[in-house]
Structure 1
């Protein structure tokens, strides 16, 4: 509200870009919608909000706000994007290579396009792009940057967890975001273990949709190490930690998050073999 009410030094229309953090800022948005604000446009970047989310409800009901949904690219959209971008460069891609490439891309259109263009530049002069080209160039864009931290925790590498957590904290990453990613991973592990009952970890990994091929070995190790009962306990720990982080001050929130991830790493290490 203070920023929205500030008069710009050089005048003219101003834009205020708000990104979500760990605190609930819906009341501030509500106050902005009720106030008489001149010369400022407020853009709020939010995540995947439920219909009942206060922020979404406020903006959809107000005549002074507009909610703009941004849908992530699905497999079909990614395939079309790959073919169209490469065709513009006079290239085509082998079917197997395209499937692997699509698995390595996420819902962010800009990031996906950047990776495809990088691949096209790498294979410049070739009429067809092969799987070897894809593996040589493409990074796991779909996978969170947190994959290294989460995989280290669930496979029992405590030193790597400490190192990666310090790095992400230094980069300003929100602790509840790190825990949220770990929680989603734990839930996916649990679902895979339950639906794949009686199967070997390698077979279960084969049924894990969207898993990047470079992560298959480490996720297979996790599936072999964690039982459904243990995963349910890990899910409970992570849920409690997420709630604690949202209620705590930043420094204490980081203490909750790092302690929980290290606890999971210790449990995973105990289950080695």
Structure 2
């Protein structure tokens, strides 16, 4: 089969080639291995490619779903399925779930003379560069490997914007940045969160989802408050963002997040306790370092362990907040908490003033001044 896109000679796709290939797979590729750490993206891309062959993936005549274990147990059934002719006309599709290296020998033999009327799509999970299945898909002229790595914030921002626009909404930049920064990790989870947001805002009449026609109705704007109202992950992320902003002396971020959280009816005591917890962890770690333990070991000993994305930031704050100043900060937080428990005091103002004063007190800001 003649190659028309130039990908046949390079079935190890570059980043820019992936999406065009997914939307219109090279006809020379009779076996496509979809792999990577993002399960949601892997499933989404596999489904998109499958639908270029058969529009209804539940079609019993043109679609067969096989497992790796079944193929290894009975290779003959795989060859029979792969070489079967469509009873209703058109191309056939074989979907293999949980693809593994144990398939590579059978597939290598099959690719020596594959069926021209059957596409095989394999969802294989996270394959290392040494994987026999991945190597086969990347090196064979009639196969392809489609990697599915975790979306970065820029890619997610585009997906969020596209889905909101499709449903008739404009999402403002602050909301977009807030939402995208919390959804990195799994495309399917990200889409579910976006759909939950759109359901909360209200879908236009007759809207058939992202796979249907875009809405011609203009439904209004999506703000950061809408994100807070629908996503618990965003609220948790905002709390973490706030504690690190205070520790970094980032006054603008502190103001913005506190105001947003209070608009979302967040209890002031929760902010104070979150800040106390953060400073206690800094204090405990710095105390161990002061007693002679190296930073890496001291950080690793934290329970619960630090999320990997904030480890570098936490280590930077260890050097910015010595034990003596952390003691003063914890004392200030305790006093603020006691005041919020007294009647007649504005709890939100007390909390906000305390956190802003701590951000201003940040030793690195004082040295910079």
TM-score (norm 2): 0.37
Structure 1 length normalisation: TM-score? 0.49
